[in-house]
Structure 1
Amino acid sequence: MARPQVVRGGTVFDGLGNPGRRQDLLIEDGVVTALLPPDAAAPDDAEVVDARECWVTPGFIDIHTHYDAELELLPALGESVRHGVTTVFLGSCGLSLAIGAPGELADMFCRVEGIPRSVVAPLLEAGKDWDGPASYLEHLDRLPLGPHVAALLGHSAIRAATMGLGRSLDARVRPSAKELAAMQGLLREALDVGYLGLSINTLPWDKMGGEEFRSRPTPTVFAGWSEYRALARLLRERGRVLQGVPNLSTKLNVLLFALLSAGRLRPALKTSLIALMDPIAGRGIHRLTGLILRLTNRLLGGDLRFQALPNPFDLWVDGLEVPVFEEFGAGTEALHLERPEERAALLRDPAYRRRFRRQWGDRLRGRAYHRDFARAHVVACPEAALVGKSFAEIAAARGRDAVDTFLDLAAEHGDALRWYTVVANDRPAELEWILRHPDILLGFSDAGAHLRNMAYYNFPLRMLRLVREGEKRGRPVMSIERAVQRLTGELAQWFGIDAGTIRVGGRADIVVVNPAGLDETVEQMQELPVVATPDPGAPPWADFGGLRRLVRRNDAAVRHVLIRGRMAWTAGALVPELGHERSFGGVLRATSG
């Protein structure tokens, strides 16, 4: 039996929104067994966890990740754990590994999420030992998980499994009554064993990879609303969640999601959408969306929420390798070509350039990306003199059109051209307005995806820093206790899982945050290998193709992380046992319905 632990000297925020209190925590066998006065007596053999001058919070919850593939290779998920995240959700955006053939799952997953197919396909071929929603959770239970995991069922996966991948990707085909019943059966199975709900995607610029169906939207996009409603009825009956991706270009089908969530004459449908932001391409849309949220929930009796990030939404891009180019046809046309020489030839073609320029500047069609070359700056390039300059500045110096200049550089240098831009949440006052909105769910890190484009693994720390800096300026965004609640207990309660609070009898998922470490270093970016030291003799794909991913790390901000009462992060390092022993995280199942 493990020694008792006492977390001593900290200010405890319980995740329920109560003000912080100086207390010590007694932990025995992975459970909080007492909340003690400061410096109270503890068992003689207790291990002391130093929390002096620190905040003690429940483990943070990341409600939107794409760790589905990574945890098969790296179940520690250390990039999240080191930032205090002790629970992650899988199965977002209609994507799931719960059912399907390995190659088809890789085709659905990899291009959309910016993960190498050369890694995911052989990984699944070698290790897939499940054949449906229930056996998938059993498989996850067998892994030496770092954080806890909870799962949504991906609509693309069950649609392809019941209709066949080709039919599921054909806009002319609707599922037969038998096929729809089979989808409903798979969803019932998932809900019975504790899935949080179902994820769907209506965004057509999320595209298939692989060869056979390359560049078609993923299967869930081809469904009609009658199909979505038929599946949503099961969720409504069970009090489970529908996670949805609206069409971010037009944004109009947010209203259809609002109507689907509406209650009054029926139970409200818990609906979580992606994502409430202040985009440069659509100033004010977040205010309108916030109004729709309030009206849906107050007047229509709905339970509609938007996920939101507490930080600017910024992107790093190698050449054209980023999903925002999928929102118009010429961008998809280029991304369809995987061979660098073929893509370069297309980018140099005059007819293609005319198509690209026309669609790039089309303001009649909605857009999510600002497409402003003055806001995109080169951060790495074989032409060193270009680093630090915007594409607009480079074009002006060359006496060239900005679109032509960008295509010139992308054709010449391919992925060696690396650039940076901010897409949304660049105005602090508007971001603070979003974070205070009562109908948001704090999260949307996309952890485990877009490894070369984004790094939001530490969003809880960025949230706490933002709130703390507001207090220091005398212009509070919200209280620290409310911020902690938004990162923990509020999420757990809404999704129906046992997590997110510090209470006697509760599981000891605990973070010790050093507020002095919440400084500007939480914003600093690094590029580090996904797998630092592959095991000797491991298969060639086990190093994640040698890929370097973006991370933000400031290890001084989190002093300790305990998962189920076991130390997972301390003294600036993950413990060696994390990801190797099955005594940290487990599968969390929905408790509602």
Structure 2
Amino acid sequence: MPLWILNGTVVDGTGAPPRRAHLLIDGDTIMDVGDALQPPAESDAEVIDAEGLTVAPGFIDLHSHSDVALLVDPVVPCKLNQGITLELLGQDGLSVAPLTDEVAPLWRRHLSGLVGTYDVEWDWRSFDDYLTRLGPTAANVAALVGHGTLRLNVMGMANRPATAREIDQMCDLLRASLAAGAFGLSGGLVYTPGAYASFDELVALNRIVAEAGRIWVVHIRYEGDRIDDALDEMFRIVDLTGVALHISHFKLMGRNNWGRAQAVVDRIEEQRARGRDVTVDQYPYMAGSTMLSAILPPWAHAEGPERLREYLRDPIRLEKMAAEVEAGSPHWESFVGNAGWENIYISDVAAEEHRDLVGKSLSQIGDLWRCSPFEAAVRLLLEADLAVSMVLHAMHEDDVRTILAQPWRLGGTDALLGGKPHPRSYGSYPRILGRYVRDEGVVSLPEAIRQMTGGAAQRLRIDDRGVIAPGMKADLCLFDADRIIDRATFDDPMQLPDGIAWVIVNGQPVLRDQQPTGNLPGRVLRQR
């Protein structure tokens, strides 16, 4: 049955000015767009009157951690209510596939603070197996394969350079995952085991990514004092391989670096002017979020979660850890050094007896337990078996605005979904459209929509989504531009935004007035 959307203001995802137009959708496809279209007088077609609403392509989340959550809840309402119709999984080098029988239990435990502790069996093994497990869903999904996951399969959590043979084995796994439909390779150079990789290992893998025409999506090694070193490393990889580089959750952490955004923007502009293919994604907040175990130096994670638990009980190693957590080390940037204990808050913890600590800072927990913040973090990690997440406040809003205004900046939520999450999980895209577009004018509405839709689809080399035009897939978000705003806060983050009226995926309404319709038309997209 055809679907008509009448009287809306279309912002088509290309950056073109808004225009009043009607849409005709048949099946999963936009058939026509124009101001003279009208449904036949005698028709059983569904009609949505979009008077007063902006009609945009569905938003694309280029940095999602719903890898396991989608297997439990195929709707993920906090994403649908932001207008998101496509999530890109497998981020930060930490994809949940491929896996061997031997490493699957270890990886599940290692990632528990990031992807959650859902009661779902991790019974997939190949990348293809995992993609097959994902459907059906409300929104579309796509996935990257993680560099850390490839390394884990070949050499476990070993803290050493890979041999030539081991690099060849990683390359074979990478080729198989790309052939199964992975959109590219993700890296997390602050996370283990990816942090242990040599430069040559990253180059070898990215030569394959470049040859396949895919992208390298990376959490760079440093986001604070040494961000220039991290960018130099990535630009060298681009020069040697020709790979398309996309930097995850681009930001500047640490008070010492506030106000430096224009300088790093200039560095990316210089690379692009030289013909390098470089983009970034960004969430519009001054705080980050990840698993609490990431505050520990990389050597502590070598050999896996069980050995880490041993280290967390060893006084000699704890003393060494505590010093590095405060100051960092030559090849590792400390989250605590960038944020400070007083600015790191617990957002989720698997241990039931510690749920009352969610929302408290590590400084506050240390005071409560009459110990140092480091000792509090160690106790939490031990008693929750590492399944702890954190929010850390370390950025400045002026830098957020500077990055947001760049045409090569694209959208991503980086949403962790458990406990008392970062508000970006519920409010990222409405916050941009309400606060930074309508209220502050940091970026225009057509440009913000392009960043979230057409620009993101182009980055993923998806040619049939992200733009409103005949022949494109009917992924759409209908919202009131005068009302749209985020309501999620750090104190009360699980609040749905205002102003989004409809979300449509592959021609089927999946959200109406903040309520899921029950339709699950989403597809698992595979890059070929």
Change (3 A) 1:37 1:132: same
Match of 2:235 among 252, 258, 274: 258
Q: Partner of 2:251: helix, strand, or coil?
A: coil
Q: Partner of 2:487: helix, strand, or coil?
A: helix
1:275 aligns with 2:249: yes
Alignment check: 8 A CA contact 1:559 1:570 kept? yes
User: What whole-Å deviation, never above 9, does each CA across 1:192-215 have from its counterpart, x for those lacking one?
Assistant: 343211122322xx3xxxxxxxxx
CA shift at 1:577, angstroms?
3.7
**How many residue pairs align between the two structures?**
509
Match of 1:568 among 491, 510, 513: 510
Alignment check: 8 A CA contact 1:9 1:39 kept? no
CA shift at 1:76, angstroms?
2.6
CA shift at 1:485, angstroms?
0.3
| Cα distance in structure 1, aligned partners of 2:62 and 2:380 | 40
CA shift at 1:226, angstroms?
1.8
User: What whole-Å deviation, never above 9, does each CA across 1:230-271 have from its counterpart, x for those lacking one?
Assistant: 2211222232101222223754233121111138xx7x3101
| Cα distance in structure 2, aligned partners of 1:405 and 1:118 | 25
Q: Partner of 1:72: helix, strand, or coil?
A: helix
| Cα distance in structure 2, aligned partners of 1:81 and 1:39 | 29
Change (3 A) 1:103 1:116: farther
Residue identity over aligned pairs, in percent, reads: 23
Alignment check: 8 A CA contact 1:55 1:512 kept? yes
| Cα distance in structure 1, aligned partners of 2:377 and 2:146 | 38
Q: Partner of 2:144: helix, strand, or coil?
A: strand
User: What whole-Å deviation, never above 9, does each CA across 1:106-128 have from its counterpart, x for those lacking one?
Assistant: 422543451577646x5114xx3
Q: Specify the code of the residue in structure 1 equivalent to 2:197.
A: A
Change (3 A) 1:283 1:109: farther
Residue equivalent to 2:484: 518
Q: Which moved more, 1:429-438 or 1:193-202?
A: 193-202
| Cα distance in structure 2, aligned partners of 1:422 and 1:174 | 36
CA shift at 1:439, angstroms?
3.3
1:222 aligns with 2:196: yes
Match of 1:247 among 198, 221, 239: 221
Alignment check: 8 A CA contact 1:146 1:585 kept? yes
Residue equivalent to 2:267: 292
| Cα distance in structure 2, aligned partners of 1:91 and 1:154 | 6
Residue equivalent to 2:472: 506
Residue equivalent to 2:411: 442
CA shift at 1:483, angstroms?
0.3
| Cα distance in structure 2, aligned partners of 1:388 and 1:139 | 34
| Cα distance in structure 1, aligned partners of 2:10 and 2:344 | 43
Change (3 A) 1:503 1:160: same
For residues 38-77 of structure 1, the aligned pairs below 5 Å read 40-42=38-40, 44-77=43-76
CA shift at 1:62, angstroms?
0.7
1:154 aligns with 2:146: yes
Alignment check: 8 A CA contact 1:106 1:117 kept? no
CA shift at 1:587, angstroms?
2.0
Q: Partner of 2:410: helix, strand, or coil?
A: strand
CA shift at 1:173, angstroms?
4.7
| Cα distance in structure 1, aligned partners of 2:160 and 2:7 | 61
| Cα distance in structure 2, aligned partners of 1:71 and 1:378 | 23
1:372 aligns with 2:340: yes
Change (3 A) 1:94 1:566: same
Alignment check: 8 A CA contact 1:54 1:514 kept? yes
Residue equivalent to 1:188: 175
Q: Partner of 1:483: helix, strand, or coil?
A: helix
CA shift at 1:52, angstroms?
1.9
| Cα distance in structure 1, aligned partners of 2:46 and 2:61 | 29
Change (3 A) 1:281 1:108: farther
Change (3 A) 1:496 1:337: same
Alignment check: 8 A CA contact 2:95 2:145 kept? yes
1:588 aligns with 2:491: no
Contiguous gaps of at least 5 residues in structure 2: none
| Cα distance in structure 2, aligned partners of 1:327 and 1:338 | 11
Residue equivalent to 1:531: none
| Cα distance in structure 2, aligned partners of 1:109 and 1:221 | 18
CA shift at 1:5, angstroms?
1.3
1:144 aligns with 2:136: yes
The two structures have a TM-score, normalised by structure 1, of 0.73
CA shift at 1:289, angstroms?
2.7
1:199 aligns with 2:212: no
| Cα distance in structure 2, aligned partners of 1:421 and 1:109 | 21
Q: Partner of 2:8: helix, strand, or coil?
A: strand
Change (3 A) 1:235 1:86: same
Q: Partner of 2:160: helix, strand, or coil?
A: coil
Match of 2:277 among 295, 303, 307: 303
Change (3 A) 1:198 1:449: farther
| Cα distance in structure 2, aligned partners of 1:393 and 1:108 | 31
CA shift at 1:477, angstroms?
1.0
Alignment check: 8 A CA contact 1:114 1:449 kept? no
Q: Partner of 1:576: helix, strand, or coil?
A: coil
User: What whole-Å deviation, never above 9, does each CA across 1:370-426 have from its counterpart, x for those lacking one?
Assistant: 34355468999x99xx9999887999xx9x9x97377579869988xx998652343
1:100 aligns with 2:65: no
User: What whole-Å deviation, never above 9, does each CA across 1:148-203 have from its counterpart, x for those lacking one?
Assistant: 11121222333343x3x44x625165241xx4444333333333343211122322
Q: Partner of 1:553: helix, strand, or coil?
A: coil
Change (3 A) 1:507 1:289: same
Higher radius of gyration, 1 or 2: 1
| Cα distance in structure 2, aligned partners of 1:235 and 1:322 | 31
Alignment check: 8 A CA contact 1:14 1:503 kept? yes
